Structure 1
Amino acid sequence: MSYNKSEGLGQDLNGRNNSAVISCSPLRSGLGTYSKLLYDLGFFESLVFFRKSSVSDESGYESVIKPKPGLYSARAMLSAFGISFWKKYIQKYGFAHLTSPEFFHLARFNKNLTGTVHDLQPIDDRVSRSAYSYAFKRYMKKNYSAMGRMKGVVAISNVTAQKIGEKIPDVDPVVIHQWTDNRFIFRDRKTVRDQLGIDEKTRIILNVSSTEPRKNLEFLPRIIDKLPEDFTLLRIGQKSPLLERIESHRFVNIESVADAIYPLYFNAADVYLSPSLREGFGRPTIEAVNSSLPVVVSNIPINREILRDQKFLADPDDPGDYVSRVQQMADMDEKERKTLYSSLGNYYREERARKEYADFYEKLGGVT
């Protein structure tokens, strides 16, 4: 089954025929990237931003729905527990997909909503006690509990689906793994390094991450310190004081990269490294996979699910294990890189995602 944006996916019996992917995250974030990728599969007529934060970047969205400035968080809380500013907007859609749970509570106003769950960290006591405010945890608990009202729910991994089953047993999510766009491909390393101005002799370890504690950034200096001097850490993400003790000549931090050249860093690097202790999915890992860049990541359930091969997985508590695996991966030649992920094939490409989402929407029985 296939769809395009002009077909009847978003039409219901009341004649509403507009369909939308609805996001509440900036396009340059992980959730924003997922929202754009889902929209680009071709099932929906518009990509809409429901703004719930005064500091959110709304650039790049075709349509933005937002209250008047001020009290954004209070309005979001009120929407979940009382009168909703977004009610009249969500009701106009014949069909919509919410790309994260922050607005699942709107399912009480529109029965034709599907949504995606990336993780349950805000209601996971092992995480939420220190990482989230009491108010936000209450807000998200309300949203997760609304899953039962949704027309359909996607979990981005089997790990997430299992946690949904434990926390909300009456919901049966469909697992559809993440994917990348087709800009992430193999390219000649020397050519790309010349384009980016990177010395050919330097061995580059790439890391893409936020500064959240779960990213385990304090492990990176311990790994770099044990590697030979010709290894340099190139990190894309907000600066962190945890990385200041890395010698300056062995560390480059780029806070913002133009979207057009971002994929090139996966071609310029020798290894992608992530010591993260918890991930919803870990998009940079599959960006590396599709770029034929060797990865070394922590041995946690989601990485085992994504990579399906122990050789890429390091003991999360042992810097030495990361070091030995990084050195092994960095020594791979071009031929080895091209066949490194042959067992995964094109799994993390949009063709597989489009088919699985088409099946997901079709099995819902149509939008009524």
Structure 2
Amino acid sequence: MRIGIEAQRLFRTHKQGMDVYALELIKHLQQMDQENEYFIFVKADADTSCLPDAYNFHIVEVQGRSYPDWEQYYLPKAALRHQLDVLHCTANTAPLRYHGNLVLTIHDVTYMEKESLKNDGSTAYQRAGSLYRRLVVPMVAPNASQVMTVSWFQRNCISQSLHLPTDQIEVVHNGVGHQFFQPTNQEKREQVRERYQLPTHYYFFLGNTEYRKNLTGVVQAYALLTQRRNDVPALVMKGIDEPFLTRTLAALGQPDLRERCRLIDYVDTEDLPTLYDMSEAFLFPSLSEGFGIPIIEAMASGTPVITSDTSAMPEIAGDAALLIDPYDPKSIADAMEELLDRPYLAEDLRSRGILRARHFSWRSTAERTLQIYQRFNPEDAAAPYEETLLHQ
């Protein structure tokens, strides 16, 4: 088969969740499939070393000024030139005028909500992306040969939002990298602590400025906890910039909390497991998630997880996390305090989290995805016809 995979942002240095999905999928397909021929469509960028070489995997650089014109104009032309049996678009959207077999991964449909377009802390770039997906996804999804998504919860959301029958949507869970299961030694811990100027004890919050990531809820919960007691660990936050945090603290009347917060920028991939591992707990009280890869990354790293009792998060966390109401800061604060007061609970969550994370592997993601690709194998399609001829 000739299989195309859209991975426009694969080579960008600061990878987000959907970029990680594409990278891990391709890497594991490389390990298991030496028969089919793959064409990986990318936009030129700096991190070309993230993907190892494989003789049957070809990197195809596709030009394009913006995300939409790359995807809607240049990608279908490139796909046509390579005579694909199937094209897999990995990041919610796809070319509207592509007429070949199309597999589409829809990670979530939060952009279909009106709130996604509001100026609520999200950047203009994020709002433009939401608008693009809001316009394109309802048109392209019904015409896809196969729609995939990353959780059972999200399958129901897609079905309701886009009016697709649930039996036309395949659920293929995301995975977690094996590096998160590796224990970290003291030397590595000291290196990471110095590199990111980390305090000795800290909670770890990973998010961005989008409203649904719930920075406001985290800050309000942290403020409540610091009012209750003096032994509260620091709050380390990744993905939040200084001006946004300052505005948020001022709006909540908590400017003095700034001295307890440590902001860090992009974290190197090899450092992230250690950053999880050294934290007292990982805070992920998002208002909505299609999956929540950081949940299982933290669990695999042996870190207690506090996450939301809504959307896909209970499905992914199972019984290995403390589930809270993300709209109630007191609920978040109570869970943070419970881990401080009950160290045996924290240890239990560490053990259960590691076991839970082992349910999710990128190899399994790749195996299930390859089975879906195989449905479009022209040789398989021809086999029943050839068998009929043999019996005539």
Q: Shorter chain as normaliser: what TM range?
A: 0.7 to 0.9
Partners of 1:197 and 1:74 lie apart in 2 by 40
1:91-149 residue CA offsets vs partner (Å, 9 max, x unmatched)? 125233111133242433xx232120011123233544667768963664334322233
339-348 vs 284-293, which deviates more?
339-348
1:154-180 residue CA offsets vs partner (Å, 9 max, x unmatched)? 111122211221133345110111112
User: 1:65/1:140 Cα in 2 relative to 1: closer, same or farther (>3 Å)?
Assistant: farther
User: 1:154/1:50 Cα in 2 relative to 1: closer, same or farther (>3 Å)?
Assistant: farther
- One-letter amino acid of the structure 2 residue matched with residue 361 of structure 1: Y
Aligned to 1:146: 140
Which stretches in structure 2 are left out of the alignment for 5+ residues?
A: 52-58, 247-254, 382-392
- One-letter amino acid of the structure 1 residue matched with residue 110 of structure 2: Q
1:37 aligns with 2:37: no
1:175 aligns with 2:150: no
1:207 aligns with 2:194: no
Identity %: 18
Partners of 1:34 and 1:134 lie apart in 2 by 22
* Residue number among 119, 123, 136 corresponding to 2:112 in the alignment: 123
199-208 vs 172-181, which deviates more?
199-208
Aligned to 1:231: 233
- One-letter amino acid of the structure 2 residue matched with residue 183 of structure 1: Q
- One-letter amino acid of the structure 1 residue matched with residue 281 of structure 2: V
Aligned-partner SS, 1:273: strand
Which stretches in structure 1 are left out of the alignment for 5+ residues?
A: 1-8, 11-18, 52-56
Q: TM-score, normalised by structure 1?
A: 0.79
* Residue number among 61, 64, 77 corresponding to 1:64 in the alignment: 61
Partners of 1:32 and 1:365 lie apart in 2 by 25
Aligned to 1:54: none
1:348 aligns with 2:360: yes
- One-letter amino acid of the structure 2 residue matched with residue 65 of structure 1: V
1:160 aligns with 2:154: yes
Contact 1:219 1:319 in 2 (8 A): yes
Aligned to 2:305: 295
Contact 1:190 1:268 in 2 (8 A): no
Aligned to 1:254: 264
Aligned to 2:90: 99
Partners of 1:49 and 1:338 lie apart in 2 by 38
* Residue number among 15, 22, 36 corresponding to 2:6 in the alignment: 22
User: 1:366/1:246 Cα in 2 relative to 1: closer, same or farther (>3 Å)?
Assistant: farther
Task: Name which one, 1 or 2, has greater alpha-carbon Rg.
Answer: 2
Deviation at 1:285, TM superposition (A): 1.2
Provide the aligned C-alpha RMSD in A.
3.2
1:330-355 residue CA offsets vs partner (Å, 9 max, x unmatched)? 55468535522366261122233233
256-265 vs 303-312, which deviates more?
303-312
Contact 2:181 2:301 in 1 (8 A): yes
User: 1:139/1:339 Cα in 2 relative to 1: closer, same or farther (>3 Å)?
Assistant: closer
User: 1:121/1:318 Cα in 2 relative to 1: closer, same or farther (>3 Å)?
Assistant: closer
Aligned to 1:366: 377
Aligned to 2:384: none
Aligned to 1:86: 75
Partners of 1:254 and 1:200 lie apart in 2 by 9
Aligned to 1:281: 291
Contact 1:22 1:50 in 2 (8 A): no
Aligned to 1:308: 318
Partners of 2:283 and 2:133 lie apart in 1 by 34
